[in-house]
C-alpha cells in the first residue's frame, strides 16, 4: 500500500473505508454521499472522480465514481483493492433491459457477468474465466429487495465494451442465452475482486429497455435510483 496516493485517487491510506459503493457517474456518488452518509468527507477529486467517506447506520462506508467502461472501473477498483485495503465493492449502475419483463426502475442483481471484453486475457488462463459476484452479498441483496417489495431479477448480465454498436440487433444473441440486461463494468469488477481475493457485487437499475424502446432521462439516472442505493448501503 506504499503506492498511495495513486495517479487516479488522491487519498491517503486510511481515508477510504474497507467497504465501498461505486457508481459510474461521480455525481451519483456525490448524491449518495449527501443523502445516505453521515458526516461525509471528500477524499478524492482527481479527474473529477469524486470520492467520500462517512458512516451509514454506524458502518464506515465510502462512495466513489468509477467512470464508464471496463478500462475505467478496472483502474479504480484495482487501486482500491490493492493499494487502499478495500475488502468489498458494490457497483450501483444503470442497465439496459434484454428481458421483456424488466421495466424502467426495476432492479437487476448480477450474479454473473458475461462480457465481450478482452480484460481477462491479462491473466493468461488456460480457458475462459466466468466472472461472478460474491454469494453473500448477492444473497443479502435479494433478501433486502424482498423486504422492500421492489421488482427485481437475479441472473446474468452483459458487460459490453460497446455502447453504440454497429450491429443494432446483436443484443438478441445475448438475450437468447437468458442474459437479463447490459451494462459496461461488472465483469472487470468481478475479475479484480477474484484476483485480489475480495468481494464484489453489481446491482443495476433498468434505465432503458432494448425490448420496449423506453428510457429514463439523465437526471433520473443520477438521482432517482434510490431503491438500488438503499439496498447497497444496507448490505455493504
Catalytic residues: 208
Helix residue ranges, H only, 17-134: 26-36, 70-83
CA dist., res. 104 & res. 211, Å (int): 11
Contacts of 156 (CB under 8 A, 6+ apart): 110, 111, 112, 113, 114, 177, 178, 179, 180
Please choose, from the candidates 203, 201, 117, 205, the residue with its C-alpha nearest in 3D space to the C-alpha of residue 163. 117
CA dist., res. 33 & res. 89, Å (int): 15
Helix residue ranges, H only, the chain: 26-36, 70-83, 135-148, 171-175, 186-196, 218-223, 226-235
Alpha-carbon Rg for the chain in angstroms: 17
Q: 133 and 159 in contact (C-beta within 8 Å)?
A: no
Quote the longest CA-to-CA distance of the chain: 50
Residues paired with residue 23 on neighbouring β-strands, in sequence order: 65
CA dist., res. 100 & res. 107, Å (int): 14
Amino acid at each position: 500500500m506504499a503506492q498511495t496516493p495513486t495517479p487516479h485517487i488522491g487519498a491517503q491510506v486510511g481515508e477510504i473505508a474497507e467497504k465501498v459503493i461505486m457508481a459510474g457517474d461521480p455525481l451519483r456518488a456525490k448524491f449518495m454521499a449527501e443523502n445516505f452518509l453521515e458526516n461525509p468527507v471528500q477524499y478524492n477529486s482527481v479527474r473529477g472522480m469524486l470520492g467520500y467517506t462517512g458512516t451509514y447506520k454506524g458502518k464506515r462506508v465510502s462512495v466513489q465514481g468509477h467512470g464508464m467502461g471496463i478500462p475505467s472501473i478496472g483502474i479504480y477498483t484495482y487501486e482500491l483493492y490493492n493499494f487502499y485495503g478495500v475488502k468489498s465493492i458494490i457497483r450501483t449502475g444503470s442497465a439496459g433491459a434484454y428481458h421483456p419483463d424488466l421495466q424502467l426502475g426495476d432492479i437487476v442483481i448480477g450474479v454473473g457477468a458475461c462480457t465481450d471484453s478482452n480484460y481477462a486475457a491479462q491473466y493468461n488462463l488456460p480457458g475462459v474465466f466466468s466472472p461472478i459476484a460474491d454469494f453473500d452479498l448477492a444473497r443479502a441483496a435479494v433478501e433486502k429487495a424482498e423486504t422492500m417489495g421492489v421488482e427485481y431479477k437475479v441472473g446474468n448480465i452483459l458487460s459490453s465494451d460497446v455502447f453504440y454498436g454497429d450491429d443494432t440487433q446483436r443484443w438478441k444473441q445475448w438475450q437468447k442465452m437468458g442474459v437479463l440486461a447490459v451494462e459496461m463494468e461488472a465483469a472487470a469488477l468481478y475479475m479484480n475482486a477474484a484476483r485480489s481475493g475480495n468481494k464484489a457485487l453489481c446491482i443495476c437499475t433498468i434505465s432503458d429497455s432494448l425490448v420496449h424502446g423506453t428510457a429514463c432521462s439523465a437526471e433520473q439516472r443520477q438521482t432517482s435510483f434510490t431503491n438500488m442505493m438503499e439496498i447497497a448501503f444496507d448490505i455493504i
